[in-house]
Amino acid sequence: MTTSTQIQRLAIVTGASTGIGRATAVRLAADGFHVLAGVRKRSDGDRIASSRIEPIILDVTNDEHIAALVERVAQDPAGRPLSVLVNNAGVAVNAPVEVLSLDDWRFQFDVSVFGQIALIRALLPTLLSTRGRVLNVTSVGGRVAMANFGAYSAAKFAMEAVSDSLRREVEPFGVAVVKITPGAVSTNLTESGLAAAARVTDTMTPEQRRRYAELSRAFIAQAEGFARDGVSPEHAAAVISKAVNARRPKTRYTIGRDGAMFTFMPRIVSDRLLDAMLRSQNKSLAQEKR
């Protein structure tokens, strides 16, 4: 339900070109916020623009883009304060640790960690003044690091730590920090992840191809399963809306049954048992692609 208070407030959603980010921008606009939707291309912005969704060209690794966004918030023509930052922008670079180049590791962290931190740091003075909230979209990969997901999970684990530290630093001053933990969501991040994995596979030596053949088949089957069986971006956006609008939000909201399961599992299962379970799952997935 829209309230007069919400209509007078701004929300920023990064990575709003597609998937969870786009659906979240639409949902928060319906909730009554004026949404500054971070997109990489003007054509993406044209597709999402509406009376309450204002596309902003935003590459979170670009300092000039971040500075322009801060200026846009400060000079809002309607005088609306910034209430919400949804850090959703991210990439998925998936390959075995042995195979993935350091440039790919750096790219994963530049977008999914350092870009998020840069945006938080730039906007935090404003959010402190408005007693706003920060929502960081992490992943079940930030709770359980599966084979082939080393770089992606490392970045998500890092954002788990950043979120916890930030929450303990700023909640005494009225800023809520919330972790959003999706499981399988049907988005085109799956497609881009498959494309990145294929590019990396092309650089493998023949020995590496043999070593990781089963793992590669399992990864493809898993990604196809995410696209086929994952919850919709709109479902994820509804959870994010709940966290945004809660009077006293929880520190974490999970999305999907697997999101809840993988968040809880490391607390009750030993590392060795979890290794065996994931190895068995990979064997079953690899069988699908034979």
Task: Summarize pLDDT for 193-248 with one digit per residue, the tens.
Answer: 677 777 888 889 999 999 999 998 888 888 888 777 789 999 999 999 999 999 99
The answer to whether position 75 is within a domain reads yes
What pLDDT is attached to residue 36?
A: 98
Token pair for 207: 């020995």
Query: Binning pLDDT at 50, 70 and 90, where does residue 290 land?
Result: low
The answer to whether position 210 is within a domain reads no
The answer to whether position 273 is within a domain reads no
In total, how many domains does the chain have?
1
Within 10 Å of residue 229's Cβ, how many Cβ atoms?
11
Supply the pTM of this predicted model: 0.90
Task: Summarize pLDDT for 114-130 with one digit per residue, the tens.
Answer: 999 999 999 999 999 99
Q: What percent of the chain has pLDDT over 90?
A: 72
The answer to whether position 221 is within a domain reads no
Stretch 70-83: mean pLDDT: 97
Task: Summarize pLDDT for 61-70 with one digit per residue, the tens.
Answer: 999 999 999 9
Q: Which domain holds residue 13?
A: 4-199+232-268
The answer to whether position 262 is within a domain reads yes
Domain harbouring 168, CATH code: 3.40.50.720
The answer to whether position 215 is within a domain reads no
The answer to whether position 14 is within a domain reads yes
The answer to whether position 136 is within a domain reads yes
State the chain's mean pLDDT as an integer: 91
What pLDDT is attached to residue 188?
A: 66
Q: Parallel, antiparallel, or unpaired: how do β-strands 34-39 and 10-13 relate?
A: parallel
Is the model's pLDDT at 5 over the cut of 50? Answer: no
Residue count (the chain):
290
What pLDDT is attached to residue 189?
A: 59
Q: Which residues are catalytic?
A: 152
